[in-house]
Amino acid sequence: MSRDKASKIVLRARELAVQGEVDRAIAECRKAIAHLPDEPEISLCLGELFLKNQLMPEATEAYDQAARLFLQEESVVKAVFCYKEILKIQPNRADICVSLGDVNARRGQVHNAVADYLAGAKVYSQNAATQETCSAYRKILALAPRNTCVRLRLAELHLQQGKTNEAVKEYLVVAEEYQRLQRDSEARALYEVILKHSPDHREASRRLDLPTGEKEADREDAEQRLTTSHSGNGNSDDSHDEIVLEDVPDVEMIISEGHVLETSNVEDAPFPDEAVLAAEQRDFPSPISSELEEELEAQYELALAYKEMGLLDEAIETFEQALRGPSRFLDACTMIATCYKDRRLNQTAIEWLERARRHPRCEGALALSVKLALAQLYETEGQVEKAAQLYGGLPAIQQTGERVTPPGVASRHVDAAAGDKAAAPKLEKPEKPRRISFF
């Protein structure tokens, strides 16, 4: 009965608003809320009316109330809408970002939830709200417990607060995860960091006493070596802490596929050799258990969230973990290439795309997309012969191939392309949708 009455009130208020009587509509909704405080549709309507009158604080309060009421009755989609409306008005509401993350986590959308928590953590961190930042990181770890970037950042915050025992616990979890991933040098560096803060730590001492086949480094160098291993570049003093969310440039973040923040002042990073990617068993990953496959799929989704937030270093590291899964190897390679291209490290992006191109499953429409992306990068880097060769092998790209073909090879590329134009096949769709961003 109350729901029918609320619907009639909302309909009447919206009719008044259309007639230009917004103030009267607001008054009727406020009167109705006094009698029906638990009806979310009235609060939602009130938020819309306040927004129409440019009453922003009142609008956000009404939307927040509506979201809470919708959640009480399991209307999560409408609650998400309300939270997003608040963030349009006040994009730096960290508490709303976290609440939105809670709702997305509740409905199983891990990728969106992690992105929301990261957004909230960034604002909290900028406002020096350490406790709230830690809380947001813990929520991420509840969804992705194997994420090393977030766990390391949480450990650093514990150290800043003087919570050494909590920091050591987080470092130990990360070190064990590194060992599981066969990243032994990074695990060793973390065990040494643990001993620096807790000299009598028995587990860290035991791990370091295991045979490693290499000389034990000095403990005082451990933190520096650990930081270098994460930055991917040991030469830049500006990249000493790549996982800190505050290091993201203070400009508006663009959260959409294919558009991320570009990191400035980044030195050219070398392409990881096979030793770094030993866990992949050389070029291509071997079959793995279904349990590990699920873990790596979650890592891939988390990496997408990092990328969309503009956290390119974290995205690259997490994609490198995800590519150990056979079903995501190609996707991860191309996404890593996209990240390096966004950082203007075109040569490294080329190396990753070439790696993807060598994979046996790189065929059909995906193979054409990889070739096109490679051709564009080669052209940007001034390697016109390689670009022309790739352009010449693509259907309906003859004009582009002619544009970059150097003198002396134009005839063999352009003439061949002209004969293929009429018979150019249509691009087939991949077997399953892929979250891949080409440039």
pLDDT digits (tens, 9 = 90+) for 374-401: 889 988 888 888 888 888 877 754 444 4
Q: Where are the domains of the chain?
A: 1-86, 278-420
134 band by pLDDT with thresholds 50, 70 and 90: very high
pLDDT number for residue 301: 82
Comparison of pLDDT for 119 and 271, the residue scoring more: 119
Report the candidate in 324, 302, 323 with the shortest Cα–Cα distance to residue 314: 302
pTM comes to 0.54
Quick check: 349 pLDDT over 50?
Answer: yes
The predicted pLDDT at position 411 comes to 40
Is the separation of the CB atoms in 118 and 98 below 8 Å?
no
| CA 253 to centroid of chain Cα atoms | 12
Matching fold, domains 1-86 and 278-420 = yes
Three-class secondary structure assignment of 380-428: HCCCHHHHHHHHHCCCCCHHHHHHHCCCCCHHHHHHHHHHHCCCCCCCC
pLDDT at 256 over 80: no
Q: Is 280 a residue whose pLDDT tops 50?
A: no
Least confident of 7-16, 168-177, 318-327: 318-327
Other beta carbons within 10 angstroms of residue 223's beta carbon come to 15
In the CATH scheme, what architecture does the domain 1-86 have? Alpha Horseshoe (1.25)
Q: How far is CA 9 from the centre of its chain?
A: 43
Residue 414 has pLDDT above 60, yes or no: no
Name, of 9-13, 17-21, 352-356, 406-410, the range with top average pLDDT.
Answer: 352-356
**275 — phi, psi (to 5°)?**
-65, -40
- Angle at which helix 290-308 crosses helix 329-342, to 10 degrees, equals 20
CATH 2.170.270.10 fits 278-420, yes or no: no
Q: Going by C-beta distance under 8 Å and a sequence separation of 6 or more, which residues neighbour residue 397?
A: 372, 375, 391, 417
Summarize the confidence of residues 422-437 as an average pLDDT: 43
> Residue 62's pLDDT band (boundaries 50, 70, 90)?
very high
